[in-house]
């Protein structure tokens, strides 16, 4: 152990640690969740990238000695490469608006930079605050890093949504001629195809991608340069354009400063919007998963019209039982994401006065949601969606026997006649077609083309069938 000092006194720090006393205090204060900033994909990378760009910018404008900037750049790059992952031990939950995480980065970079410059760790040549944190504040570094992290995580999620969209498009084409009974209010409705069902899913994913892409563009606006409360206090002349220039060189992204730094530090509507898109994705996935659970229920006392792939035995007591575990997984992911959205909303609402200090819980909630979706979607595709199948015999029977086929009868003969035919079919436990033929409302040939469930799934075919009937009956 080694002894370090700060304004509160002294504290022992592990001798082999690249972090220092402020990190050690945070470890002792905040160990509640077992998760650290390093568990959030790309977050530490983003903070280190800011430190590197700041050092380069400060050197460019003459505020920082080139040799000191050079070792800060090298040390930051090593952190970005993952070399010091074990030296970021602070819990993701913490007070102080992320100050502990920012100082953790400053201390690690400073110790390593000092080591590169002098051969020994410590702050003799490179100080965490004076040099590594030059022109910065926790208040602009952490939210800027959060937006950069958002952009990288959103890009990964968009890739998964593209894969989901492609699989749904394939299923829509594959199931284009597989008829099923539509249902509203969990009751029998008119026929449709499984292709139309999966096509609707694909369209929804396409819209979700579009909205998430819009949010991703908003993530390019950073509060970096605002420092403590938006005034830019402690930055040197020329720093602001230089730091964004270097950040673009480093990341390849065209990051730009917020139009109003005071707004950027106080208001977190970006996070509400980001979380809202994650919630929408989760709600859709859960809805689709529930559809599969209902349609795959049975196999003898349920719908049994689709076959959800079996991936594991379903019961410790009932032999042969198979549960829809992958759809159930998606439901649970959705419940967590939707709960996280409430957390994000409250954390943004609580950003009192001149700074929102709730970045730690925003980080935890947002990127847990993003990771759950990014990891859950490929599992759902691989273990459920790509091999989902249709029980064609059962589905076709449901469509043919539905009393909702009386809708066509109502179109031809009026709603009262249609209702009477539907009621008779239900009471007699037979099909609408059988009742229509028994009452001689239609000829067998007319019943065949008018009451064909597949024809009813296509507006053009159903319209043509009714027109054909009207022509045969000399109806205007």
- How many Å apart are CA 421 and CA 405, to the nearest integer? 10
Q: Supply 250's token pair.
A: 């480093």
Distance, in Å, from the CA atom of 408 to the CA atom of 448, rounded to the nearest integer, reads 12
Annotation says 315 is catalytic: yes
Please state, in angstroms and as integers, the Cα–Cα distance from residue 145 to each residue in 26, 37, 79, 139, 476, following that order: 20, 12, 14, 11, 70
CB-CB contact of 44 with 88 (8 Å): yes
Phi-psi region of 463 (alpha: psi -120 to 50; beta: other; left: phi over 0): alpha
Is the CB of residue 264 less than 8 Å from the CB of residue 258? yes
Burial label, 385 (beta-carbon count in 10 A; 0-12, 13-18, 19+): buried
Q: Is the dihedral of CA 365, 367, 370, 376 positive or negative?
A: negative
- For residues 216 and 159, is the Cβ–Cβ distance under 8 A? no
Q: Whose CA is closest to 364, among 283, 285, 275, 266?
A: 275
**Strand bridging mode 256-257 / 221-222:** parallel
Tell me which of 100, 150, 275, 315 is the catalytic residue.
315
Q: How many CB atoms lie within 10 A of CB 259?
A: 8
Contact partners, residue 146, CB within 8 Å, separation at least 6: 43, 46, 271, 359, 362, 363, 366
Tokens in use for 55? 């050092």
| Residues with catalytic roles | 315
């Amino acid at each position: 152990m080694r002894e370090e000092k700060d304004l509160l006194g002294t504290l022992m720090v592990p001798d082999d640690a690249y972090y220092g006393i402020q990190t050690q205090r945070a470890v002792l204060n905040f160990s509640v969740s077992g998760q650290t900033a390093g568990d959030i994909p790309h977050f530490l990378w983003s903070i280190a990238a800011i430190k590197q760009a700041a050092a380069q910018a400060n050197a460019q404008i003459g505020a920082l000695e080139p040799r000191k900037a050079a070792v800060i750049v090298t040390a930051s790059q090593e952190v970005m490469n993952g070399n010091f992952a074990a030296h970021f031990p602070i819990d993701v939950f913490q007070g102080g608006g992320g100050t502990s995480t920012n100082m953790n980065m400053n201390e690690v970079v400073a110790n390593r930079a000092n080591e590169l410059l002098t051969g020994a760790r410590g702050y003799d040549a490179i100080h965490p605050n004076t040099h590594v944190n030059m022109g910065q504040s926790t208040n602009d570094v952490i939210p800027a890093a959060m937006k950069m992290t958002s952009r990288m995580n959103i890009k990964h999620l968009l890739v998964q949504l593209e894969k989901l969209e492609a699989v749904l498009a394939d299923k829509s084409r594959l199931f284009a001629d597989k008829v099923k009974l539509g249902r509203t209010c969990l009751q029998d409705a008119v026929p449709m195809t499984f292709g139309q069902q999966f096509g609707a899913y694909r369209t929804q994913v396409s819209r979700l991608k579009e909205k998430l892409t819009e949010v991703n563009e908003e993530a390019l606006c950073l509060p970096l340069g605002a420092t403590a409360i938006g005034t830019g206090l402690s930055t040197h002349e020329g720093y602001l354009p230089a730091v964004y220039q270097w950040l673009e060189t480093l990341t390849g992204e065209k990051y730009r400063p917020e139009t109003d730094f005071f707004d950027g530090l106080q208001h977190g509507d970006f996070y509400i919007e980001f979380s809202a898109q994650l919630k929408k994705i989760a709600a859709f996935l859960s809805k689709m998963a529930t559809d599969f659970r209902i349609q795959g229920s049975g196999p003898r006392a349920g719908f049994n019209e689709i076959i959800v792939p079996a991936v594991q035995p379903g019961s410790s007591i009932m032999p042969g039982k198979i549960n829809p575990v992958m759809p159930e997984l998606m439901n649970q992911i959705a419940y967590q994401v939707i709960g996280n959205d409430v957390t994000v909303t409250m954390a943004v609402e609580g950003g009192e006065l001149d700074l929102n200090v709730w970045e730690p819980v925003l980080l935890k909630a947002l990127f847990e949601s993003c990771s759950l979706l990014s990891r859950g979607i490929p599992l759902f595709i691989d273990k459920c969606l790509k091999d989902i199948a249709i029980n064609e015999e059962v589905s076709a029977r449901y469509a043919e026997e539905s009393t909702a086929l009386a809708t066509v009868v109502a179109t031809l003969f009026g709603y009262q006649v249609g209702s009477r035919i539907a009621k008779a079919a239900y009471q007699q436990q037979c099909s609408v077609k059988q009742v229509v033929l028994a009452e001689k409302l239609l000829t067998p040939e007319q019943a065949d083309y008018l009451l064909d469930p597949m024809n009813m799934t296509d507006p053009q075919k159903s319209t043509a069938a009714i027109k054909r009937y009207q022509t045969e009956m000399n109806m205007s």
